[in-house]
Amino acid sequence: VVIALLNSLSGLAAAAAGFVIANNVLIVAGCLVGASGVILTVIMCKAMNRTLGNVLFSGFGATDAGGGTAMEGELKPISAEDTYYVLEAASSVVVVPGYGMAVAQAQHVVKELGDLLEVNGTEIRFAIHPVAGRMPGHMNVLLAEADVSYEQLVEMDNINPTMPAVDVAVVIGANDVVNPAAETDTASPIYGMPIIKAHEAKTVICLKRGKGTGFSGLENQLFLLPHTRMLYGDAKDSIQAVVSEFKNA
């Protein structure tokens, strides 16, 4: 959000310089950059259910973020082999990509896994949250790079009504954008933030490097639900292991 705002201000500065030197091209270009930066800032703030002032001055994102109701439950790990069995038996799978997929550069193996699932007769879709990653469209760009079909990409508002009918939701490196606390815990700092309702799927498999928190510094209630399993490790390596299980079956 701050980067988008600074981009907007740089455009306004360019427009002001254009007025000073009487350069119409610089004025127009600066106004376009300024306007696009403002629009992007508003989109991201809306997607996080935050005002710009709240994002800039509230300390949201600090690693010591507190608040929220104490959670109960335990993290239940799953192996690549067991993940294969779960996915192989599913008729519908929704992949929720996040920043962890970008860090691991796992988009190509995700595409390969999606192809194998389709061959297996499974419906595969990708649920895109507006602020997944580091800016709007980040996940779209990575998946397009891996040649994932645009028709398989589904926006948050369109995927959420179908989640209760989904057999398996595979969450790859996403954290806050799938945290049920945003809907259920009024004491949580992210309460009211629109999320992808991965927790409504029949089974959830979350890929994470470890037990760390997301950008907000909050523990994710999704990880502790009875139907959630944790596949630990680098996302690319973990998915590659699942792909190998499919190929060796």
Taking the C-alpha atoms of residue 158 and residue 175, their distance in angstroms, rounded to an integer, is 20
* CA 120/CA 132 separation, integer angstroms: 28
Residue 132 CB neighbour total at 10 angstroms: 29
The CA distance from 15 to 186, in Å, is 43
Catalytic residue among 147, 167, 176, 234: 176
Residue 176 designated active-site: yes
Element housing 212 (H / E): none
Amino acid at 64: D
Contact 175, 141 (CB under 8 A): no
Which DSSP symbol is given to 249? -
The helix/strand/coil state of 206 is strand
Contact 171, 200 (CB under 8 A): no
E runs forming strands in the chain: 92-97, 123-128, 153-155, 168-172, 203-208, 228-232
- Please say whether the beta carbons of 245 and 81 come within 8 A: yes
Residues acting as catalytic residues: 176
